[in-house]
């Protein structure tokens, strides 16, 4: 199951994100029920503070297996932060939003770029691979 919720004023192509999630989960051989939430900078700041002790908005947060007895994972995205980052990194908004989505889904698949440089390189290569599938 892939469930996409948008609580923002920005339009979200649910079909595109659902299809991309299916490609990634199949490619990574993961059986995960995925919940994706698009939320405001104010809301993601609260979540970032609560779970990472960082008092600022971020583009994406990922939570593996929300309940230990289930396969439910969640990716939380802030489109507004992604839009700011797109300008900063010279990407289109659509490309940046897709990148942060892929990044979040890879996190719930078990990848962690903060573990090591090697893991970061693997994750970046995976991000580029799945971005090329769109």
Binding site residues for Zn(2+), as ranges?
A: 103, 107, 113
Q: Which residues are known binding-site members?
A: 103, 107, 113
29 Rama class: left (phi>0) / alpha (psi -120 to 50) / beta: left
CB-based contact 3:36 (threshold 8 Å) = yes
| Distance (Å, whole) CA 73 – CA 107 | 10
CB-side neighbour CA atoms (13 Å) of 72: 8
- Which has the closest alpha carbon to 41: 26, 31, 56, 23? 56
Residue 60 tokens read as: 């994406």
């Amino acid at each position: 199951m892939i469930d996409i919720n948008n609580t923002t004023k920005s339009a979200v192509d649910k079909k595109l994100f659902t299809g991309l999630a299916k490609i990634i989960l199949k490619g990574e051989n993961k059986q995960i029920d995925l919940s994706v939430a698009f939320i405001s900078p104010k809301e993601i700041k609260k979540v970032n503070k609560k779970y990472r002790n960082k008092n600022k908005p971020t583009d994406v947060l990922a939570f593996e297996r929300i309940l230990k007895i289930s396969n439910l994972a969640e990716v939380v995205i802030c489109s507004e932060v992604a839009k700011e980052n797109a300008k900063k990194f010279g990407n289109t908004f659509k490309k940046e939003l897709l990148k942060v989505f892929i990044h979040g889904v890879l996190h719930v698949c078990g990848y962690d770029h903060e573990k090591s440089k090697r893991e970061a390189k693997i994750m970046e290569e995976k991000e580029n691979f799945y971005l090329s599938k769109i």
